[in-house]
Chains A and B, each alone.
Chain A
Amino acid sequence: MVNIQQLHFGYRKKKVFTGLSLQLQPGHIYGLLGKNGTGKSTLLRNIAGLLFPDQGSIDVMGFTPGKRQPAFLQEVFMVPEEFYLPNIPLQAMVSNLSPFYPRFNQQQFDTYIREFEIPVENKLESMSYGQKKKVLISFGLACNTSVLLMDEPTNGLDIMSKSQFRKVMAGAIDENKCVIISTHQVKDLENLIDRITIIDEGDILFDQTIDAISRKLSFRISFDQEEVKRALYSESSLRGNAIITSNTDGEESKIDLELLYKAIVTNRQPIHSAFNS
């Protein structure tokens, strides 16, 4: 559905991507992880057609995003991290913007707004950052575009809203939709994402499904010093050593995304060798 080949992109002086390739399929929620300033938002903006590649190609459902053809734009929605909403009532915003998205569903939108407990009578500017964000998330989901891009969607959401966000997302994904979420808040989305893509230094460091990860790797707490020494990655914690090892006994453990992320960013070789063995 999204096919990125040899993407090169840079802002004036700073090179961001030097030959990045990535394929994304419908029916999945992709988690895009990476340090600050590694190009997660830049990648989303390239996919949305808001930025243009210097070299290489991006194909989204047969369209080149940079051409910004209406037929493409009605299939993509992006919830950016920073955004501006005009100072008009909620319903005015919806009636102004929804005609651009043929599969927009008002009933669905109203349900999300209700679940997020957003005061409908208020003008947008009188809402808090979190409320505005929830308006945008609700609208984005109700547009039912094939591709939905979300940049740090849980930033600014309170504890209850994060839980509502997960419920809403779990109900919104289907086999025709491709959702890409960039995030630092791994814990917020741990059970929602079914494929992890980690980017760093302009390239893909790691790209695996949750299924493959739990088949190949084992996450656990260990007190055995020998085992800790042999682990692919280890970190001491209050409860003992949190370790990642190869999954040898076929038993699947709960993935600790934060630990996996640290392992990949500090030294990815041992993890990769576990996937290739």
Chain B
Amino acid sequence: MQFRESQAIYLQIADYVCEKILLKEWKPEERVPSVRELAVQLEVNPNTVMRTFEFLQQQEIIYNQRGIGYFVSPNALQQAVQYRKAEFTEKDLPNLFRNMYLLGMIPEDLKPWYEKYKQQHFA
């Protein structure tokens, strides 16, 4: 995993987990990798991953079964969409809008690009 410049690492790991859930690679009621496994895989301090898991628990995206580990919540998909949408509107959209404004583009201009992107990556 390549970490970006701007966001705290524990939040970037939260995004990574959300992406796994949104892409349905990790399904509801399935066990998620342990703190240690994820720390080794991402080459980060286990305390950082612990923080991610605590955060995702608050967001009700994963839950803890004492002594067994962490699991994907039954309604993780909705929760992850809700969380990521809020993040996207607050953080990514302003940048996009700024560029669109500078370039004199309107939202309708994006449609063909969006369709093409979907074709290329998720068809």
Cβ of B44 and Cβ of A170 under 8 Å apart? yes
Distance from B37 Cβ to chain A, minimum over Cβ atoms (Å): 9
Q: Which of B1-42 contact A (CB under 8 A)?
A: 3-12, 36, 39-42
The yes or no answer to A6 lying at the interface (CB within 8 A) is no
* A interface secondary structure, majority: mixed
Cβ of B51 and Cβ of A211 under 8 Å apart? yes
Cβ of A214 and Cβ of B8 under 8 Å apart? yes
Interface string of A215-257 (1 = CB under 8 A from B): 0000011000000000000000000000000000000111100
The yes or no answer to A105 lying at the interface (CB within 8 A) is no
Cβ of A253 and Cβ of B43 under 8 Å apart? no
Cβ of A194 and Cβ of B43 under 8 Å apart? no
The yes or no answer to A193 lying at the interface (CB within 8 A) is yes
Across the interface, A167 reaches (CB within 8 A) one of B5, B9, B43, B47, namely B43
Given A171-B39, A191-B9: A254 and B45 within 8 A (CB)? no
Given A254-B3, A254-B8: A170 and B39 within 8 A (CB)? yes
Size range of the interface on B?
A: 20 to 34
Cβ of A163 and Cβ of B11 under 8 Å apart? no
The yes or no answer to A123 lying at the interface (CB within 8 A) is no
Given A171-B39, A211-B51: A254 and B44 within 8 A (CB)? no
Q: Which residue from chain B places its CB closest to the CB of A209 in the assembled complex?
A: B47
Distance from B38 Cβ to chain A, minimum over Cβ atoms (Å): 9
Cβ of B45 and Cβ of A173 under 8 Å apart? yes
Inter-chain CA distance A240–B42, complex, in Å, is: 29
The yes or no answer to B79 lying at the interface (CB within 8 A) is no
Q: Which of A173-203 contact B (CB under 8 A)?
A: 173, 191-194
Cβ of A191 and Cβ of B8 under 8 Å apart? no
Inter-chain CA distance A254–B8, complex, in Å, is: 4
28 chain-A/chain-B pairs, Cβ below 8 angstroms: A27-B47, A28-B47, A166-B43, A166-B44, A167-B41, A170-B36, A170-B40, A170-B42, A171-B36, A173-B45, A191-B3, A191-B9, A191-B42, A191-B43, A191-B44, A191-B45, A192-B44, A192-B45, A193-B45, A210-B48, A211-B51, A220-B6, A252-B7, A252-B11, A253-B6, A254-B6, A254-B8, A254-B9
Sorted from nearest, which 3 A-B pairs have the closest CB atoms? A166-B43, A252-B8, A170-B39
